[in-house]
Amino acid sequence: MPNHPTLASLATDLDSGATSARKLVEECLAKIADPNGEGARAFIHVDKDAALEAADAMDRLRKAQAAPSPYAGIPVSIKDLFDIKGQVTRAGSRALEEDCCPADADAPVVARLRRAGFIVIGRTNMTEFAYSGIGINPHYGTPRSVWNRSVGHVPGGSSSGAAVSIADGMAHGGLGTDTGGSCRIPAAFNGIVGFKPTQRRIPLDGGVPLSFSLDSFGPLARTVGCCAVLDAVLADEPEQPLQPHPVKGMRLAVPTTVALDDLDEAVAKTFERALETLSRRGALIERIEVPEFLDVGVMNSKGGFAAAESYAWHRYLIVSKGDFYDPRVHVRILRGEGISAADYIDLLNARKSFIARTEARIAPYDALVLPTTANTPPKIADLADDTAFAVENLRALRNCTLINMLDGCAISLPAHREGEVPVGLMLASSGGSDRRIFELAAGMEDLIRV
């Protein structure tokens, strides 16, 4: 990934007059419009005129010493799952394109970004209705991962366009969602940072749901610090200087149950190298069994929360617009039709027990550390077969899903070296540990790629 600026460096440049909001927006728009780039696939809609108007407004406010935040004027992308006032929210689908009315208001998370002065550059492409960790979209095209682009590898999903927009400099941050890894997987596949917050910290209003039990709204960006800034805005919390946690003395647990199964060779090699680096720097790393993780496969055997809750939302739309759905998404939603009320209650109780037992097991540690995905970005051409797609989708989602089911928080950091296939390292913990995860991640992000 090119050496793109951070939010902090952009804020400094805006404050000093070295750049302007207008210039930043124009640069992003030029990259989106580049016919040799991924803009046409990464974005479903580009807010060119509105973004330029907002940029000029932010430049005037900064000149008058009235900028709403140090980040006012920085362009960010918004996943197509979120309401933006005056626009139709398609959720990466054609089924919502024609009959749906434009949104009456911004989703709260979009409104909070605007209130801080961030500029909405456009709506990013995604897996239809956020129901896949791969990122393929047959309706609007599939943006290619930054890895080996001439060959064409999947971007990761479901926040596919969000990750590519940041990696390619078409935006300087992105708003995504994460139900089973949809911020972290595309971050891992594109060499950037993705954060899944504790669900209750950020309102879910104004976003098309996949699973209201598991959905969370989070940021994708270039660094841990960038994600921390965006996370504070999304949660409507005061921004606090991020204090990196010293690596020496970190107490990290590597779960050997499920999380290390069936890893691609490059994933295993990069992950172990990162662990060795952290250990040499004084981190206390313990490999532990987490037998509770075996329960997740059982809970998801009939489709889990995502199938049950998405079917409840989609069941009438599928009757009238089912032919418009991506068949791979359609079949996954329909699994929810076979989940009874009793099954669903069993699932709620099983999850409650899973959370309590897992939290108790991991309590002695600062965080879990595990590969973000079991696989590296598969080739798009290799997933034309539905069976191959299903296998790689499951491998992409598996580790991230463990943390969503835990109601936890997690971050994916790039762990590969320059020139190597992208691999993400995930730090995760119980719900409410968000600040600690940011501090731990900030302490190690520059070390694990050495």
- Distance of alpha carbon 238 from alpha carbon 236, whole angstroms: 7
Catalytic one of 79, 132, 213, 412: 79
CATH fold of 7-234 reads Amidase signature (AS) enzymes (3.90.1300)
Q: Is position 310 annotated as part of the catalytic site? A: no
**174, β-bridge pairs:** 77, 220
In this structure, the strands spanning 367-371 and 424-429 are antiparallel
Q: Which residues of the chain have pLDDT under 50?
A: 1
Strand order in the sheet with 409-414: 43-46, 119-124, 75-79, 174-177, 217-221, 193-196, 409-414, 424-429, 367-371, 251-255, 284-288
158 is an active site residue? yes
Q: In the chain, what is the greatest distance between 2 CA atoms, to the nearest angstrom?
A: 62
pLDDT at 100: 85
pLDDT of residue 1: 45
pLDDT of residue 2: 52
List the domain boundaries for the chain.
7-234
How many CA atoms lie less than 13 Å away from 265 in the CB half-sphere? 0
Which is the catalytic residue, given 182, 213, 412, 430? Answer: 182
> Radius of gyration of the chain from Cα atoms?
20
Q: Name the amino acid, one letter, at 146.
A: V
Task: Check: CB of residue 153 under 8 Å from CB of residue 189.
Answer: yes
Query: Which pair of tokens denotes residue 84?
Result: 């933006």
pTM of the predicted protein model: 0.98
Out of 20, 93, 158, 310, pick the active-site residue. 158
Q: Is 145 a catalytic residue?
A: no
- Please tell me the predicted confidence (pLDDT) of residue 4: 86
